[in-house]
């Protein structure tokens, strides 16, 4: 039976994030021939309509208020709620990103919608949607299905491949005016200051090079940065490295940091504590570099190199430069 699907597109710096396209792929599968509507917020929303339609949206609702150019909980909550009320979807998808994690439970609670978060897969079985999500900090996965009612699901980035772009597609476009009264917005973003090192987005990166306490200092991250530049990778870290002051907490991967699912994860000088594994063990290929052959990181690694990271990482950089 066809379903009415809504995708709330995750936008950063005026660009669609990959996870928005991944949500459209999940939405197309879940719709079973029904309509997939994408909603996009902010004054640059109209410029994103074409890409949304190429990647699976049949209909796009643009909410063009400039108050939605930067994420704030109150503004996005009001706009998201309004779009849900208008579309009356059976299923809603958005990214399991900082924004999706913040606004989704609020909307689900207010509209009395069932919610499943951090999904790594969505499949159809006997006309039912089955959602897969990690439990026990990623040690196991559970499959969930809903008996009835509207479902709101957040999708973990990098798990469901986006559809191939079909440039012949064009969506029906509608603008929706949402009145956001100034006194209903408790926060106002005046400026967003990003760190200069913010290159590849860690949560969507295809390759992540991570450093642990084994890098020994802030300067110890330099060889990792060089390898990352050659591979077009993002640099991450364990909490051990963050706590030691070697890097910013924005790089932390794990239970209390970011969750990443890259194609390749290279762990350098990381012991492999359960809390770190919770953030990276779903990576497709894991390479561990550690001096200690007994380090637990080797139990999840596809390839292990027992050695000093300060010798191994520069050698890898040299080899990849030649490739
Ligand atoms: P260590 O455990 O000290 O390991 C350093 C490793 O480097 C060792 O295995 C050593 O053999 C190796 N090494 C040293 N020198 C070299 C060298 N020259 N070359 C190669 N290898 C070398 N941790 C996270 O990462 N993310 C989280 O989100 C997180 N959340 C937590 C939440 C809670 C509630 C708690 C209690 C802990 C959390 N932790 C988290 C901390 C976690 O338990 C570990 O303490 C932390 O991951 C250890 O970091 P590490 O592996 O870098 O350091």
Strands across the sheet containing 207-211: 234-237, 207-211, 264-268, 285-290, 303-306
Q: Which atom of ligand 1 is nearest to the CA of 271?
A: 9
Give the total residue count for the chain.
323
What is residue 138's predicted lDDT score, i.e. its pLDDT? 81
Closest-CA residue, ligand 1 atom 25, reads 238
Q: What is the mean pLDDT of residues 282-310?
A: 97
- Say whether pLDDT at 126 is over 90: no
- Greater confidence (137 vs 73) lies with 73
Can you give the pTM of this predicted structure? 0.84
In this predicted model, what pLDDT tens digit does every residue of 72-97 receive, in sequence order?
Answer: 999 999 999 999 999 999 999 999 99
List residues near ligand 1 (CB under 6 A).
212-214, 238-241, 252-257, 269-271, 273, 275-276, 279, 289-292, 295, 308-310
Distance CA 95, CA 49 (A): 18
What is residue 228's predicted lDDT score, i.e. its pLDDT? 96
Distances (CA, A) of 294 to 136, 241, 289, 310: 24, 20, 12, 19
Residue 197: pLDDT band by 50, 70, 90 thresholds? low
End-to-end Cα, the chain, rounded Å = 50
The best mutation among 221, 222, 269, 308 to test binding of ligand 1, ranked by most ligand atoms within 8 Å of the C-beta, falls on 269
Q: Lowest mean pLDDT: which of 194-198, 208-212, 223-227, 302-306?
A: 194-198
Q: What is the mean pLDDT of residues 222-246?
A: 97
What is residue 136's predicted lDDT score, i.e. its pLDDT? 86
Q: What is the mean pLDDT of residues 52-69?
A: 97
Q: Percentage of the chain with pLDDT > 90? A: 87
Pick the closest to residue 288 from 204, 210, 197 (CA basis): 210
Residue 133: pLDDT band by 50, 70, 90 thresholds? very high
Closest-CA residue, ligand 1 atom 41, reads 239
Q: What is the mean pLDDT of residues 29-40?
A: 96
The answer, yes or no, to whether ipTM is higher than 0.85 is yes
Which 3 state secondary structure label does DSSP give 201? coil
What is residue 196's predicted lDDT score, i.e. its pLDDT? 61
Q: What is the mean pLDDT of residues 256-271?
A: 95
The residues, any chain, with a CB within 8 Å of residue 45's CB and separated by 6 or more, are 11, 62, 63, 64
Q: Lowest mean pLDDT: which of 53-62, 190-199, 218-227?
A: 190-199
């Amino acid at each position: 039976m066809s379903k009415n699907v809504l995708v709330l597109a995750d936008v950063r710096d005026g660009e669609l994030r990959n996870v928005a396209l991944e949500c459209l792929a999940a939405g197309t599968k879940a719709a079973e021939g029904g309509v997939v509507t994408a909603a996009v917020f902010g004054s640059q929303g109209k410029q994103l309509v074409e890409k949304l339609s190429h990647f699976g949206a049949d209909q796009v609702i643009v909410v063009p208020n400039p108050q939605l150019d930067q994420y704030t909980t109150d503004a996005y909550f009001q706009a998201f709620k309004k779009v849900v009320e208008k579309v009356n979807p059976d299923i809603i998808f958005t990214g399991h990103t900082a924004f999706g994690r913040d606004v989704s439970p609020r909307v689900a609670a207010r509209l009395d919608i069932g919610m499943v978060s951090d999904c790594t897969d969505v499949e159809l079985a006997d006309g039912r949607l089955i959602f897969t999500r990690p439990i026990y900090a990623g040690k196991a996965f559970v499959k969930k299905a809903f008996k009835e009612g509207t479902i709101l699901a957040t999708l973990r980035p990098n798990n469901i491949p986006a559809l191939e772009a079909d440039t012949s597609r064009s969506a029906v476009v509608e603008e929706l005016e949402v009145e956001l009264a100034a006194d209903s917005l408790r926060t106002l973003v005046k400026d967003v200051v990003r760190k200069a090192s913010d290159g590849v987005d860690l949560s969507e990166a295809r390759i992540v090079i991570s450093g642990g306490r084994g890098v020994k200092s802030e300067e110890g991250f330099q060889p990792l940065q060089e390898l990352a530049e050659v591979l077009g990778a993002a640099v991450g870290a364990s909490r051990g490295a963050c706590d030691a002051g070697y890097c910013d907490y924005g790089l932390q991967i794990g239970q209390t940091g970011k969750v990443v699912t890259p194609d390749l994860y290279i762990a350098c000088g990381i012991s492999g504590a359960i809390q770190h594994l919770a953030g990276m063990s779903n990576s497709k290929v894991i390479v561990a570099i550690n001096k200690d052959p007994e380090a637990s990181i080797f139990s999840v690694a596809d390839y292990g190199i027992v050695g000093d990271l300060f010798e191994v990482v520069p050698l890898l950089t040299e080899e990849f430069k030649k490739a």
